[in-house]
Copies of this chain bind each other. A is one copy, B any other.
């Protein structure tokens, strides 16, 4: 397919009239929430990753930003730059399926060729509840919450970089992991967690109906994103590591990927769960499976309590401007 043929195919599949024009026209009164996130071959995913998985992950990490704002998805824009061998049809079939699932309209974008596959996405969302969530709304006395477990995605990232893949519905592991029965199940879970993050839109929606509280999605590491939330709110925090939800299997899996489970949990990143604060009297409903993991305090110190001992928590995690070689070891 050439460019005009692909755009024609997309217009027929989506029914969108704006695809193929110079820009899209988006109507409706009130506030929009706009986010933009990128997935790059060799940085966020291995060059041979299935285009369908690239599409789904790209959409999921962008949706996670809308979840962290308490917004519902509405429109997607995609800039896709890929080598000539790239399977556009497979990419777009998966993308459009998930767009339907999340009630998103793919409304425009840009196609180009590039030696390094790069996919940038912009999402426009609408406020889901009475208020939008920000990082700056945490107040001393708030409880600190996590919307899910952390650490597995970072282990999964390491497994994928060693060759693990999802093929159909099956996770294919590198031979050394497939052979080790005690870590096999944990490894499969971790690969799924890394390649198929689940944006916490329902949690974001619930939070947006609460009168107060800050939120951020954990993409660059729990420690780093907690530091960002504290800095934006002008508060300190105490994270209780014993309460941070970490899957039991991660303890056996971590050494197999040459890591410590604590480091994966605290600084691994790409968990795409919400880290949020609520006044003491508010608790998320049980079905959202959130865990209280600490508290917000006056001052600027970010502390971690680990097996009864308190220490300063460094702002460890991903820095997107540092070269891979100097990426801070989690």
| Most chain B CB inside 10 Å of its own CB: which residue of A21, A26, A33, A115 | A21
This chain's copy number in the assembly: 2
- Assembly CA distance A223 to B293 (angstroms): 61
In the complex, whether A84 has a CB less than 8 A from a CB of chain B is: yes
Q: Are B113 and A321 in contact (CB under 8 A)?
A: yes
In the complex, whether A118 has a CB less than 8 A from a CB of chain B is: yes
In the complex, whether A322 has a CB less than 8 A from a CB of chain B is: yes
In the complex, whether A24 has a CB less than 8 A from a CB of chain B is: yes
| Most chain B CB inside 10 Å of its own CB: which residue of A29, A75, A107 | A29
Q: Are A79 and B37 in contact (CB under 8 A)?
A: yes
* Residues of the B chain whose Cβ atoms lie less than 8 Å from the Cβ of A38: 79, 81, 110, 112, 120
Q: Are A24 and B30 in contact (CB under 8 A)?
A: no
Cβ-closest chain B residue relative to A24: B34
Q: Mark A22-50, 1 if CB is under 8 A from B, else 0.
A: 11111101111111111010111000000
* Residues of the B chain whose Cβ atoms lie less than 8 Å from the Cβ of A135: 20-22
| Most chain B CB inside 10 Å of its own CB: which residue of A22, A26, A68, A125 | A22
Q: List 14 A-B contacts (CB under 8 A).
A: A2-B321, A3-B320, A20-B135, A22-B68, A22-B69, A23-B123, A24-B34, A25-B31, A26-B33, A29-B30, A38-B110, A38-B112, A79-B79, A111-B321
Q: Which 8 A-B pairs have the closest CB atoms?
A: A23-B35, A120-B120, A116-B116, A84-B323, A79-B120, A22-B68, A122-B122, A29-B29
